[in-house]
Amino acid sequence: EIVLTQSPGTLSLSPGERATLSCRASQSVGSNYLAWYQQKPGQAPRLLIYGASSRATGIPDRFSGSGSGTDFTLTISRLEPEDFAVYYCQRYGSSLLTFGGGTKVEIK
């Protein structure tokens, strides 16, 4: 079973700063199968990135995904007030799905 470990657990930043979130897999993950989600309090998660680097419909270009193998990164180039939220990575493989533990991006 592949485990996804996200770091840091919490990221304290100011609006306008750059956010770099990490997702590390315990075994190699095909890039076709890695996604990122944003969740705000009281809301369902929203798909941001699929295929490790493709933005979902309507997602601003300040969000970008990269990586391959066991190391993946979500970058928010300049934080907007609405970007403070929890972010999850997710892997699809062998018809099963796994979420990482999440990274909370909070206002410093």
Partner 1 sequence: QLQLQESGPGLVKPSETLSLTCTVSGGSISSSSYYWGWIRQPPGKGLEWIGNGYYSGSSYYNPSLKSRVTISVDTSKNQFSLKLNSLTAADTAVYYCAGVHCSSTSCYYYYGMDVWGQGTTVTVSS
Min. distance of Cβ 88 from partner 1 in angstroms? 6
Provide the binding-site residues for partner 1, judged by CB under 8 A: 1, 32-33, 35, 37, 39, 44-47, 49-51, 56-57, 88, 90, 92, 95-102
Min. distance of Cβ 53 from partner 1 in angstroms? 12
Residue closer to partner 1 (CB basis): 8 or 15? 8
Residue closer to partner 1 (CB basis): 63 or 88? 88
Cα 20 from Cα 105, distance rounded (Å): 10
Residue type for 90, please?
Q
Nearest to 105 by CA among 8, 12, 6, 7: 12
Cα 80 from Cα 36, distance rounded (Å): 18
